[in-house]
Amino acid sequence: MRPIKQDHSLKAVLTAVLGNAFVTALKFAGWMVSLSPSMLAESIHSMADTLNQVLLFVGIRHGEGKPTSLYPFGKGRARYIWNLVSAMGIFFVGFGFTTYHGLSTFIEAHPNDHVSEGLIPLGVLAISALIEGYTLWVAFHAVNNARGERTLWDYIKNGDDPTGVAVLLEDGIAVLGVITAFIGYYLSKQLNSPYPDAICSIIIGCLLGVMAVMLAVSNGRILMGMSASADVESAIREWLDAYPSVERVVSLKTAVLAPGSLRVAMEIEFHGGILISREQIERDSERIRDGEDPSYILFETAERMVRVVGREINKLESALTEEFPQVHLVDLEVN
């Protein structure tokens, strides 16, 4: 197997970890000053993002493991397992705790409850928006570089690197969460009512829940053996159909091994007339007519054809991986 292409997600993950770790501390400080439910929701949100992006980093490093006797195809899918664990963490910690706290605050709130009037939480949210906006910009550029000619939405739905998509979604919802918390705290302050803040806390929790489900689905489909896109499969089939020695493609299947890494399994029929050397057959016929043992000559012919087919398979596999660099493993069966 050849090495996997450069990982576009690594910089986005590291930037997000550092940015969210700082923002988490900042938001918790703002919550301790204001006791705002939406500020607490955002604090838990950023903490969950930080921990989950650490898991994404672990997944990237784990997935770089080389093929071994225990893992002959490498560990490229390890990142999808860690991504799935990350999605579960977002769901149970981010969505579960944040939504529960928001609902509890809303149910237990009274119109006359004291509402914090300090400006520190608003300043904290403004700084958080700048930092998380920068991490979102880094994540967007990473995904934009990785998607190639595909549309952004198609890559988010069907791409082979949910790690980059996870960072993009987490940072995007982080920015949206900051705006939501800002609106909730500001409205509660202006209306002198705890309800807008509590409602915004619930909204932030629901955003986290939607994102967690999206990430779980996108990683689960790859772990189940998702194929390459229809365009990639069509391009591979067309290339094989045009290959000189291939008479017919009986079947073609693909599976994602890792970001930018595909496994291709195909069954083909070769053109016998192209592989057979007519000159050699004529020489063998002449030897038989000259009285040599036909059995020995036929044995030589059969042995030679096995070597010819083997060399043609190696040649075809080499040409295929050169034409399609994302193909790292080829299973070829001659029909």
The DSSP-derived string for 177-233 is HHHHHHHHHHHHHHHT-SHHHHHHHHHHHHHHHHHHHHHHHHHHHHHTTPPPPHHHH
pTM: 0.68
In a domain, 2, yes or no: no
CA triple 285-291-297, angle to 5 deg: 50
Q: Which residues of the chain have pLDDT under 70?
A: 1-9, 111-118
57 with 125, same domain? yes
Q: What is the pLDDT of residue 4?
A: 41
Q: What is the pLDDT of residue 235?
A: 92
Q: Which domain holds residue 244?
A: 230-334
Last residue of a domain, one of 190, 223, 256: 223
177 with 34, same domain? yes
Is the separation of the CB atoms in 222 and 80 below 8 Å? Answer: yes
Is the separation of the CB atoms in 6 and 161 below 8 Å? Answer: no
Beta strands in the chain (DSSP E): 246-258, 261-270, 327-334
Q: How far apart are CA 335 and CA 324, in angstroms?
A: 23
Give the count of domains, the chain: 2
Residues 6+ apart with CB under 8 A from 258: 4, 63, 74, 76, 77, 79, 160
87 with 39, same domain? yes
Q: Which amino acid is at 108?
A: E
Last residue of a domain, one of 223, 242, 270: 223
Q: What is the pLDDT of residue 251?
A: 92
Report in angstroms the alpha-carbon separations of 100 from 89, 105, 113, 321, 333: 15, 9, 19, 52, 56
Q: What is the pLDDT of residue 122?
A: 77
**Sheet hosting strand 261-270, strand order edge to edge:** 246-258, 261-270, 327-334
Q: What is the pLDDT of residue 178?
A: 83
Coil, strand or helix at 291: coil
Q: What is the pLDDT of residue 112?
A: 64
Rounded to 5, what percent of the chain is helix, strand, coil? Answer: 70, 10, 20
Q: What is the pLDDT of residue 83?
A: 79
